[in-house]
Amino acid sequence: ILLLVSTFLKADNYDSAVLKVYTFDIKEMIAKPVWRTTKMAIEQAEKENAGLILIQMNTYGGLLDAADSIRTKILDTHIPVYVFIDKNAASAGALISIACDSIYMAPGSSIGAATVVNQSGEQMPDKYQRSEERRVGKECRSRWSPYH
């Protein structure tokens, strides 16, 4: 992991001698326990004055409400958040990943489409897909806008 963090830092011109990196894993279904873990990790990183947060991810997705809470927490922190996708970042994992400042992927890993599904795992009608796409797109554009 040290080599990985060093590579990230060199790519973004950080001085690794003075940068504290806080890491945590998302390697299960995105649900309330992952939201709690993420919330506590980001709050701890802020308390420790970390200069970078690194999420190691491998997930096939999960619940939209938990993913949206995680995405919002990432967008609201002042600390840059990087994600390293070890194998998969599907659906809710993709939504979380695009909220991060940088995305890095292991060879052969994949990031998948984020599709709104119901509790049975069936895709919701197009009107729900478009509504969520517009909302997420608007928030992402706001995050990366030079006027933000």
Task: Name the residue type at position 100.
Answer: C
* Rounded Cα–Cα distance for residues 12 and 113 (Å): 27
pLDDT (0 to 100) of residue 6: 55
Nearest to 24 by CA among 99, 89, 81, 92: 81
- Cβ pair 74, 100 in contact under 8 A: yes
pLDDT (0 to 100) of residue 133: 52
Q: Could you read off the pLDDT tens digit of each residue along the chain, which spans 148 residues?
A: 445 555 555 555 555 557 899 999 999 999 999 999 999 999 999 999 999 999 999 999 998 899 999 999 999 999 999 999 999 999 899 999 999 999 999 999 988 766 666 667 676 666 655 555 555 554 544 454 444 4
The first and second tokens of residue 78, run together, are 């002042």
Look up tokens 């003075």; give the residue. Answer: 18
* Rounded Cα–Cα distance for residues 33 and 11 (Å): 32
* Rounded Cα–Cα distance for residues 53 and 63 (Å): 23
pLDDT (0 to 100) of residue 147: 44
pTM (predicted TM-score): 0.72
pLDDT (0 to 100) of residue 148: 41
